[in-house]
Structure 1
Amino acid sequence: MVKGNKIFDLFRTVLIFTSLDRYYSRLIRGKKHDSFIGKMAPNNYQYKKGTYRIARLNNNIKLSVDLHDYLGHYIYFGYKDQSQDALLKLVEENYSVLDIGTNIGNTALLFADKVKAAGRVIGFEPDPETYQLCMKNLELNSFENLKVHNIGFGDNNSSFFIESLIDSNISGNRINEKLTQGQKQVSVKRLDDVFFDFNLKKVDLVKIDVEGYEMKVLIGAKETIQKFKPTLFIEIDDNNLRDQKSSAQELLDFLEKNNYTSVEAVSNKPINSNYNFKDCHFDIISTSNC
């Protein structure tokens, strides 16, 4: 197996140095990451940090991505993302969408394309460096219905430091309330306190992907959720939630108490607070029963 891996790595290295990886990305677009052809693509760690390429989403959206970064690599090679497919099916023309945890803007741009000119998409990315990457991607496109703000959401108004866990995965950067110093300090607000600053008359969909901070976001958005009853698309990672002094069970309890029913995004399997959440990692779609 080790010998086989070395042969595969040699093939991947050849793809990079001959620039054939550009053509290979077209070949594997839409394939699963764990398929044989998907596994043969160069790994993100084989690219130097700062290896930027332009990826295209839906043929009309341009995105500058770093191939050293896990998400940038995933987007560039166009691997099938069943969870994102399920998310985009929730979006309709004229929708007002909140993207909490916008990252480099890939999902927000797809939202903006789907809601059309009459819709609104507002994104929120607390990490200042990631926010700058996101803004560059917004500049590559021309969606007037999309705005992104450099703030985070939580259960109180404060400021915290960002923790960067893995250099090659900016998606894993997260707020750490325990840190007392750091290079990146971010502003955190309760959504309920600032919602009307964004001049929205409704909210149809809220996506929340904030590396374990999801429960705090929901607590600070309780009034907004109760008033507008939007569909919620939430990442559930019990270990990340526990790192933030919460849990997946607590999050589902909150949703149920607020009259929401949840299903796993890809399988559509019902999910409730009695589920075994140990080491779980998946997305849920939650809809109001009212």
Structure 2
Amino acid sequence: MRLHEISPVKWASLNGLDIAYVSDFAMDGFKSDIFEAHQHWFLSSVDRPYIIDAGANAGCVTLYLKQLYPNADVICFEPDPDIYHLLEQNVRRNALTSTQLYNCALGDYDGSSHFYTSKAKHLSGGLGNSIKPIWGIQEDLSQYDTSLKVPISRLSRFINRPVDYLKLDVEGAEFDILNEISTCLHLVKQLHVEVHCLGSQPDMMFNRLIDFLDHHLFYCHIERYQAKLPQWVQRWNDGSKPSIWSIRAVNSCFFTTDQLLTK
């Protein structure tokens, strides 16, 4: 069931794809980061890679990767009921095969969780959605339905074979998820994770995650992500001091450091 009426759906034609979206701000970012900067390009040693898109939003990363590897098996997780509807439309409109969609959040347990998402989808486009209130509530509280609950699942249930590419963009829940899959992380060949930290001293959480990946024998390529935050979350930005890093990591059991190169 959808929580409330989503903003009118718009369509963009990009790289031979038809993409449904509701926020110009979000779509501009998807176009720049995914399709122009090739942020999620990766080298696969197999013709049919297994890809996990956690925090899929409207599915632009999945659309990009299915063009790169048409035979890929992809599973997408998107908890926002409104944005999930866009994801469904984009998968259907572009006739993606071998693509499974899950309308749930990911965490370190199975059950349900409160979920924080702005009603103003025409502005946010689902960016900033989170099961963590410190990340999910970025505007006036009146813009949120704090009673919304979504299903939550452990990602380890879906890692029963080698994962060629794991993308995590989960607004503050990344360490919970990575820690939960620690016993099967050896099956993950490459991952791309956005690390979200708050406060004036964000290095502690960031370093904890880097140490975790190093312990699991991953080489890491790190970039400070200069997110262009919209003016309507400026007050939250000033008070919370968010820091975002983009980590590209490869499993040293599968790759050598010179294969960290992006497109």
- TM-score normalised per structure 1: 0.66
Letter of the 1:172 counterpart:
G
Give matches, 1:1-290, under 5 Å: 50-59=7-16, 61-67=17-23, 70-75=25-30, 78-79=31-32, 85-90=38-43, 93-117=47-71, 119-165=72-118, 167=120, 168-169=123-124, 170-176=126-132, 182-192=146-156, 194-195=157-158, 201-226=161-186, 228-239=187-198, 247-264=205-222, 280-290=243-253
CA shift, 1:72, in A, is 2.8
CA 1:79 to 1:256, structure 2 compared with 1: closer, same or farther past 3 Å?
closer
Q: CA RMSD in A?
A: 3.1
Amino acid in the other structure paired with 1:215: F
Q: Which has the higher contact order (CA 8 A, sep 6+)?
A: 2
**1:165-209 deviation line (CA, Å, top 9, x unaligned):** 583211111113799x834211112122x226xxx6421110000
CA contact (8 A) 2:166 2:192 kept: yes
Give per-residue Cα distances to partners, 1:38-95, cap 9 Å, x unaligned: xxxxxxxxxxx83532112322x2111114x5213444xx446589513124457421
- Assess if the C-alpha contact under 8 Å between 1:65 and 1:73 holds in 2: no
Spell out, residue by residue over 1:233-280, the C-alpha distance to the aligned partner (whole angstroms, 9 max, x if none).
Answer: 00022229x99xx8212211211111112112699xxxxxxxxxx953
Q: Deviations over 1:205-228 (max 9, x none)?
A: 1000000110011012122212x1
Determine the C-alpha separation between the residues in 1 that align with 2:184 and 2:14. Answer: 31
Structure 2 stretches of 5 or more lacking a match? 1-5, 137-144, 226-240, 254-263
Mapped partners of 1:206, 1:71: distance in 2? 22
Query: Percent of counterpart pairs with the same letter?
Result: 23
Post-superposition offset of 1:109? 1.4
In structure 1, give the amino acid aligned to 2:9. Answer: Y
2: CA distance between counterparts of 1:101 and 1:73?
Answer: 18
Gap regions ≥5 residues in structure 1: 1-48, 268-277
